[in-house]
Amino acid sequence: MLKATTEAILELGLHALTFDEVTRRSGVAKTTIYRHFPTKNALIVAALDGVTPVPITPDTGSLRQDLIEFLESVRPIFADPTVRKIMADVQSAALRDKELRTLQTKMLAGRAGPTLTIYERARERGELRDEIDYLTAVEIIEGPFIVRSLARPQALKDVDIEELVDRILVQLTP
């Protein structure tokens, strides 16, 4: 079901996605799809969740090394054309659809574990400036990849992760 949904979204777009189309592509009965996903939005977010791997949570004892390993692990996610296309479509649609926005927010919050853990460990070790809150830290850490994935996805492969982390640390550390 989720593979068929992903393929349909990529080919037709979110607005043209229907349970009938997913049934046709997957061979799964519409009643079965509805049993698992009561709304089209729930199906869309499940498909997005299915193509977005959970990032690793490194624990090297160093914020710098944790960030290097974390960003190396998420680079392929941000570079993946399927993830980028579906994420952009969902983000755009979520601006107009409260249910979709709520489901997307919940899915993304579920994916925040690695960055939250990295942040908390660094805070415990005294590696972060006191005034840096978690959401600001995430914006500083993930922002460069998000911008590149939207504006210049081909540039993701050329990012020098160590240099990027060193720039990030100037903002986060005392």
Q: Where are the domains of the chain?
A: 1-51, 53-174
Tokens 């994935």 belong to residue: 149
The token pair at 145 is 């990849």
pLDDT in tens, 12-47: 999 999 999 999 999 999 999 999 999 999 999 999
CA 144 distance to own-chain centroid: 13
pLDDT at 2: 95
The Cα 146–Cα 41 span in angstroms is 23
CA distance 115 to 141: 9
111 C-beta neighbours (distance < 10 Å), count: 15
User: Domain 1-51: which CATH class?
Assistant: mainly alpha
Q: What does pTM read for this prediction?
A: 0.86
Nearest of 160, 6, 156, 2 to residue 82 by alpha carbon: 6
* Average pLDDT of the chain, as a whole number: 93
Alpha carbon distance 140, 132 (integer Å): 10
**What kind of fold does domain 53-174 have according to CATH?**
Tetracycline Repressor; domain 2 (1.10.357)
In the chain, which stretches have pLDDT less than 50?
none
pLDDT at 79: 92
